[in-house]
């Protein structure tokens, strides 16, 4: 399929439409795209409108705003961390210093009997399937014992 720009400058309309010729094995219609409205309207070479409008979904993925809360405490010398979050029921992965300590769709967990003594732990929550440290993850929460 070949896309050939007919007019790459903004059209004289409030929609800022751009027109392109699409050439395939068959005569294909001219498509007019309005990026601001995420829609595409196709018209045939004769100028009449197609009977259907085509909806275009943006490929941009908007990361959820995941906020992680965590607090640490000791019981009989053992370190525990209670973590909670709101991810809208989506599956998430909770990391402690790069190790997975929880995976699922709950909104809280206790990371328990970690160790005795003093330590520093960094927790981060990410949507399942996203790499730790990516933009879709929560901010890092540091727990110091």
Q: Quote the distance between the C-alpha of residue 86 and its chain's center.
A: 15
Each residue's pLDDT tens digit, 91-102:
999 999 999 999
Which tokens sit at 2? 């070949």
The fold adopted by the segment(s) 68-144 is Immunoglobulin-like (2.60.40)
Total count of residues recorded for the chain: 145
Each residue's pLDDT tens digit, 12-57:
444 444 444 444 445 544 444 444 444 445 555 555 554 445 555 5
Domain boundaries, the chain: 2-55, 68-144
Residue reference for tokens 């890092």: 140
What is the spatial distance between Cα 128 and Cα 77, in angstroms, rounded to a whole number? 32
């Amino acid at each position: 399929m070949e896309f050939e720009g007919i007019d790459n400058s903004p059209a004289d309309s409030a929609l800022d439409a751009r027109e392109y010729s699409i050439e395939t094995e068959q005569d294909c219609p001219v498509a007019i795209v309005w990026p601001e409205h995420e829609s595409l309207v196709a018209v045939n070479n004769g100028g009449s409108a197609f009977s259907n409008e085509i909806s275009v979904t943006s490929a941009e993925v908007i990361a959820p705003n995941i906020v992680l809360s965590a607090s640490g405490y000791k019981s009989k010398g053992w370190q525990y961390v209670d973590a909670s979050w709101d991810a809208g029921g989506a599956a998430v992965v909770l990391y402690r210093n790069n190790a997975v300590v929880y995976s699922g769709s709950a909104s809280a967990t206790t990371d328990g009997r970690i160790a005795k003594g003093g330590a520093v732990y960094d927790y981060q929550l990410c949507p399942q399937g996203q790499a730790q440290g990516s933009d879709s993850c929560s901010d890092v929460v540091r727990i110091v014992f």
